[in-house]
Structure 1
Amino acid sequence: MKGIDKKLIIFTTKKRFNDRNADDMQSGDIEADILKKHYHLGQVSTFIDWTTFGLSYQHPATNSIQPVSREKAIAMLYHELRSQSYAFSFRGPYQGLIINLFNHMQRSNGNDFQHLFMNNAYRNLILSEKATDSTLSIIKNTIEKLYFNKSQLMKEHFSNVLSKSRLPKYTRWKDFVNGMGITVHDINSTEISIESLTFQGNTYTAVIKYRAQDHFGLDKKDILKAKFNSITFFRIWFILQRTKYFAQKPFFTNFEATITLTGENDV
């Protein structure tokens, strides 16, 4: 069996990378009246009325709040957002990532985000999936039964079998407490490639690379769902991102994992 000595992309999701036209990548695009009437986001904060932050406001649970600047209002809402994030991220090595992401959202003006912890978490997620329809299981099984010598035929075959696979996602129970469920949860775009594949007799060594991207932002469908619209955390996030008052920019999170597979080819 002949191997390959250069990168061969074997799978790419239909959702493309760097899609800034996606709804969850929009910011400052919704008027206050629409947010209040259609999205039921009149009062989202315990501390400040986002619609009249330039005026004193009498909140039922607090004393009268003095007028603040736009910058101060944004800072107050981010502070409340961070303080509530621990409800979704309180256990394990990744619990602080969500704070880093909101810090990035506040300061980076929409630039991409990468972090070593996200790469580590992604690699562990891929390796933890043992089901026969997981991507890594399918890749390993396919290599062990591989009989193609031409890269193009190999690519077409992998694309076909991987289209039936279950892509890695942070939907396990532990992801809802360790920070990855709120940090990423779903993954928008995935590319899988074979970086190298060598054979020595029937024994093979394959270097597989996963490249992934998610959108750190909320779309309109998200906030209209009861499970999001009823939680203060998501209400504040949506207001910070989508109202013209604040227009805080969402961004792409990029992460990757490289995994070496070994085994024997049966053909």
Structure 2
Amino acid sequence: MTTLRLPCTLFETQKRMDENNAPDMQCGDLTQEQLKTRFRFAHISKRVNPYTLTKYTTSNRPPSMYSSLHGASEKISRQECVRILFDEFRELSRTFSVYGPYKHLIGQMITHMQNGNGAAFTSMQLDAALKEQILNDKSKNSTYLILKETFSSKIDWENKYYPSEKKDELRDAISRVKLPKFDRFKDNINGMGITVHDTWATHITLKSLEIDNDSYRAVVHYKVQDHFGLDNDDILNIKFRDLIFFRIWFVLQRYDKFGFKPFMTNMETTVEITGGRNESNK
């Protein structure tokens, strides 16, 4: 047997990084008629009508998003309509980001959608959130714990190296568990569920592995990518389609008169895994 050459890619999702043709990366592709008929988006906002470029006043604001409009109309420019929609978008996001160090991320990402023209988004807070999720996942589906167990059991302890012939066992171990995501209960209100939630692509790389007597130290790098955008299935989901927050998001992204570009959300972190000979997580 030969030693595993480092750095070594342990795992890559089938979905690729930087997939610009993904369904949730589309923008400016739907007409007013399509939004109203297929998606039943007659009403979008509590503040403006993006189809008529009309601002609701006290006299004409509907009591609910499904009410008919009454009273005089206040015409506004497309630029002013967009500004109002993004302000409402940000304000509504606070419902999903109540506490914690990541609660301001959704506002930053909405502003990036408004001004970033599709450029990728990175943040030290996102990287910190990813590291916290990996290290604090103590479940049976933890990538951190399954790697810890696999290193312990597959290292050639007599010769002090990890056999290259057992590389696939690391990949298979990762594919049996759950990749880092932000779908925990607390993510519903700490800002991570609305900013990332699920993820699109993940790469996990073993950067270094030191073996000394009956212990080891592995340095593992995680690169994770998500898309800040909505596809048709997202907005047709009964959980989201009637929430003004998601309606505004969808219209700003997909309406052919607006077409604000979704973007890649890039996260990465490096974690250290240590363990010993015949160590078990059970």
Aligned to 1:92: 100
Tell me what 1:69 maps to. 77
* Alignment equivalent of 2:62, drawn from 50, 60, 66: 60
The change in CA–CA distance for 1:46 and 1:160 in structure 2 (over 3 A counts) is same
Report the Cα distance in structure 1 between the residues aligned to 2:98 and 2:141, rounded to whole angstroms.
Answer: 31
Instruction: Verify the 8 A CA contact 1:5 1:196 in the aligned structure 2.
Output: no
| Matching residue of 2:166 | 154
Out of 220, 233, 245, the residue aligned to residue 232 of structure 2 is 220
Q: Would you say the 8 A contact 1:17–1:213 is kept in 2?
A: yes
Contact 1:197 1:207 in 2 (8 A): yes
**8 Å contact 1:4–1:151 — kept in the other structure?**
yes
Please point out which of 106, 109, 121 is paired with 1:113: 121
Of stretches 240-249 and 257-266 in structure 1, the one that deviates more from structure 2 is 257-266
Amino acid at match of 1:157: E
Q: Which residue of 1 aligns with 2:40?
A: 40
Residue 90 of structure 2 contacts residue 110 of structure 2 at CA under 8 Å; is this kept in 1? yes
Q: Residue in 1 aligned with 2:89?
A: 81
Percent identity over the alignment is 38
Matched, 1:131 2:136: no
Aligned equivalents of 1:241, 1:168: Cα separation in 2: 27
1:197 shift after superposition? 0.5
Letter in 1 for 2:87: H
Distance 1:133 1:55 in 2: 49
Alpha-carbon offset, residue 260 of structure 1: 0.7
The CA distance in 1 between the partners of 2:190 and 2:55, in whole Å, is: 39
The residue that corresponds to 2:66 in the other structure is none
Structure 1 residues 152 and 3, CA, compared in 2 at 3 Å: closer, same or farther? closer
Match of 1:165 in 2: 177
SS at match of 1:125: helix
Q: Partners of 2:55 and 2:135 in 1: how far apart? A: 53
Superposed CA deviations along residues 149-184 of structure 1, whole A, max 9, x for unmatched, are 676423322111211111121111111111001010
Aligned length: 267
Q: Is the 8 A contact 1:4 1:196 kept in 2?
A: no
Write the deviation string for residues 103-129 of structure 1: whole angstroms up to 9, x where unpaired. 100001000000000001110011111
SS at match of 1:93: coil
1:206 partnered with 2:218: yes
Whether contact under 8 Å (1:6, 1:195) holds in the other structure is: yes
For 2:131 and 2:56, the matched residues in 1 are separated by: 50
Cα-Cα RMSD: 2.1
Gaps of 5+ in 1: none
1:261 aligns with 2:273: yes
Equivalent in 171, 175, 178 of residue 187 of structure 2: 175
The reply on whether 1:28 has 2:28 as its aligned counterpart is yes
Query: Runs of 5+ in structure 2 lacking a partner?
Result: 64-69
Partner deviation per Cα, 1:7-44 (whole Å, 9 max, x = no partner): 11101111111111111000001111010111011111
Q: Distance in 1 between matches of 2:54 and 2:95?
A: 30
- CA, structure 1 residues 195+83, in 2 after alignment: closer, same or farther (shift >3 Å)? same
Query: Does the 8 Å contact 1:94/1:179 carry over to 2?
Result: yes
**1:212-233 residue CA offsets vs partner (Å, 9 max, x unmatched):** 0000001100100111111000
Q: Shift of residue 262 of structure 1? A: 1.3
